[in-house]
């Protein structure tokens, strides 16, 4: 699915720190291994520029409203509040299945609250943006495709990521790099590492610290695909829902049959849907045959074939927070709000998929080192913002040095 009449670029995702007051603060602490951060889903920022051929869907949208320059498409909830119909942005932000990459920059920092707390905490222990601390953004609408299938966006990310890691190592006395991922950034990193030569991994990756990642997806991600809108509508929810139906990334986060088996994840009076019934469920909530086929051929094989990264790895996940285990649409009305049946996890990633990650990596005889840490009463976002959790994360990063 292409994006005519609009040019997109992926903006970088971190905040730019306040200029330091002394040369001592300005310099990165010697001896630390460089760190590359890979953010979670939706932490990237998309900028758009309309071409002369663009015709707005409704009055007040498009060129008359935005002008001819670049404007923030995501995240820009202030502008979205001014236009609740979303029609000004519906076409550009959707469409995650295209194999044509959007222009992107990689390895620099820009204001974004997604990982601000983690970056500040790293700076407090001696890391310096652009010296030994780097970021690897990606277009969150896309996802890795099955091997041997075209995936230009992920290929572009992979080549840029590889060059960034090599450059970070060279800038720091050829020390190998510690990669720190959050949420979906961990999926991108795991697939990237699996498709990189083992000799390259062992040369350039000192440690992989993955935050808030399981390997089986989450039942929670079945909900946004099930409805087109809520009444009364939730603006951010509506934006994400419209996009999620076309974002390849959303399909990569659906529950895996390998983890959940025949466990009912969506329950109705007439029929229950397990992870093995996912294609049938997607059709039942209104996705097209083409979208269901893309799930089967591009997203599902990646989920089923995730492998241990074969570099020293630490997994840190939150527990003790109510987390969706299943959805109940008892009357079969998928456009309504379901009853949520909760279990344990971090509010987004449930404990079952975390334990599956432990088995996947920990049981691989070729995995050189693996440690799994469960942080009590920590949410998905809190892992990179709560003081207690950040101390634990920073401790593991420094321990990898």
Separation of alpha carbons 34 and 168, rounded Å: 6
Q: Which residues contact 125 (CB under 8 A, 6 or more apart)?
A: 29, 32, 394, 398
Among positive and negative, which fits the CA dihedral 260, 263, 265, 270? positive
Strand ranges in 12-57 using DSSP code E only, listed in sequence order = 35-38, 45-50
Our answer to whether residue 262 is catalytic in this structure is no
Q: Mark 222-237 as b/e (b = at least 16 C-beta within 10 Å).
A: bbbbbbeeeeeeeeee
Q: Which residues contact 180 (CB under 8 A, 6 or more apart)?
A: 35, 36, 37, 38, 118, 209, 210, 211, 393, 397
* CB 74 within 8 Å of CB 99: no
Query: What angle (nearest 5°) sits at the alpha carbon of residue 295, between those of residues 293 and 299?
Result: 140
Our answer to whether residue 183 is catalytic in this structure is yes
Strand ranges in 56-146 using DSSP code E only, listed in sequence order = 71-74, 133-135
194, 325, 346, 386: which one is catalytic? 346
Q: Which residues contact 275 (CB under 8 A, 6 or more apart)?
A: 216, 217, 254, 255, 256, 257, 259, 260, 261, 263, 265
Our answer to whether residue 234 is catalytic in this structure is no
151, 160, 380, 386: which one is catalytic? 380
183, 196, 246, 249: which one is catalytic? 183
Catalytic residues: 183, 346, 380
């Amino acid at each position: 699915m292409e994006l005519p009449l609009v040019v997109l670029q992926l903006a970088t995702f971190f905040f730019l720190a306040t200029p330091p007051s002394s040369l001592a603060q300005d310099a990165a602490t010697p001896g630390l291994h460089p760190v590359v951060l890979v953010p979670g889903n939706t932490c990237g920022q998309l900028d758009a520029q309309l071409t002369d051929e663009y015709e707005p869907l409704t009055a007040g949208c498009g060129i008359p409203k935005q002008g001819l320059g670049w404007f923030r498409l995501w995240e820009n909830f202030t502008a979205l509040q001014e236009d609740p119909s979303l029609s000004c942005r519906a076409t550009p932000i959707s469409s995650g299945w295209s194999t044509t990459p959007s222009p992107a920059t990689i390895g620099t920092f820009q204001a974004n609250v997604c990982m601000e707390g983690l970056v500040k905490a790293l700076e407090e222990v001696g890391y310096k943006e652009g010296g030994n601390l780097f970021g690897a953004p990606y277009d969150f609408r896309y996802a890795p495709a099955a091997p041997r299938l075209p995936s230009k966006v992920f290929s572009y990310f992979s080549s840029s990521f590889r060059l960034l890691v090599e450059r970070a190592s060279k800038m720091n006395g050829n020390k190998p790099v510690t990669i720190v991922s959050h949420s979906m950034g961990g999926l991108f990193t795991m697939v990237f590492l699996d498709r990189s030569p083992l000799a390259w991994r062992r040369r350039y990756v000192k440690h992989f610290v993955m935050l808030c990642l399981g390997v089986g997806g989450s039942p929670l991600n079945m909900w946004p695909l099930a409805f087109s809108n809520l009444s009364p509508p939730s603006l951010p929810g509506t934006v994400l829902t419209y996009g999620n139906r076309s974002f390849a990334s959303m399909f990569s986060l659906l529950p895996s049959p390998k983890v959940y088996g025949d466990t009912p994840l969506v329950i109705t009076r007439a029929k229950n849907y397990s992870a093995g019934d996912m294609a049938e469920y997607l059709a039942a909530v209104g996705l097209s045959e083409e979208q269901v086929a893309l799930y089967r051929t591009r997203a599902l094989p990646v989920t089923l074939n995730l492998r241990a990264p074969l570099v020293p790895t630490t997994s840190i996940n939150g527990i003790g927070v109510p987390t969706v285990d299943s959805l109940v649409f008892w009357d079969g009305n998928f456009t309504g709000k379901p009853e949520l049946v909760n279990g344990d996890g971090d509010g987004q990633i449930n404990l079952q998929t975390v334990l599956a990650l432990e088995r996947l990596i920990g049981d691989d005889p070729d995995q050189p080192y693996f440690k799994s840490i469960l942080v009590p009463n920590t949410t998905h976002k809190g892992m990179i913002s709560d003081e207690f959790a950040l101390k634990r994360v920073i401790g593991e990063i420094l321990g990898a040095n």
